[in-house]
A and B are shown apart, each in its own frame.
Chain A
Amino acid sequence: DADVTQTPRNRITKTGKRIMLECSQTKGHDRMYWYRQDPGLGLRLIYYSFDVKDINKGEISDGYSVSRQAQAKFSLSLESAIPNQTALYFCATSQHAYGYTFGSGTRLTVV
């Protein structure tokens, strides 16, 4: 079983719809992150959380919101999806000095 699980794996949605991407982990890590990957732009940080009561904006948080329901769960929402939010979204976890453990990604297409 994967340590970091993202659902759904693929999603096509219409402009203006609300959509939630979910991430759960069994690593026991405190820190969780949401990144988006666009061709030629690398990974850009959307939101991050260092514990259940801590939520922080990343470099591209506009149009997104998050919820840290438990240590193991971190959800990303698009309140009103727009086509330029079409991307590959990654959830990641970490613990202190160690590197990230990534989920397998959610490919989102907004039409």
Chain B
Amino acid sequence: AQRVTQPEKLLSVFKGAPVELKCNYSYSGSPELFWYVQYSRQRLQLLLRHISRESIKGFTADLNKGETSFHLKKPFAQEEDSAMYYCALRPGNTNAGKSTFGDGTTLTVKP
């Protein structure tokens, strides 16, 4: 069974401060990890995935298999980063395409 844990339901930082949204997972095989973001009154959208090792809107996330974590980081938070963030895991098997989501973290960036 696969499980995703986001330990913080709410996270509040000031503009310009670093931000880290935590994500831990449990899965016996090789996972694919994703971060999704939901801005106010908008649909959920893919932010980044660990396979591509990209930086989107200043955010990065590194898959740490030893600690089974995929934390989302940004060095300088902006007010427009305020949103709900979901971490998701999908088995690294092309026949198993369904993802398991964490409960989400609401990030508020204060001016």
| A residues adjacent to B (C-beta < 8 A) | 31, 33, 35, 40-45, 48, 50, 56, 58, 90, 92, 94, 96-105
Contact = CB atoms under 8 A, between A and B. Distances in A.
B94 A43 contact: no
A102 B45 CA distance: 7
A56 B95 CA distance: 13
Interface residues of B, number: 23
Contacts of A98: 49
Nearest to A103: B43
Interface of B: 6, 9, 32, 34, 36, 42-46, 49, 51, 86, 88, 94, 97-104
A99 B103 contact: no
Given A58-B98, A97-B51, 6 more contacts: A42-B104, A56-B98, A96-B94, A99-B49, A100-B99, A102-B45
Contact of B32 (A45, A50, A97, A101): A97
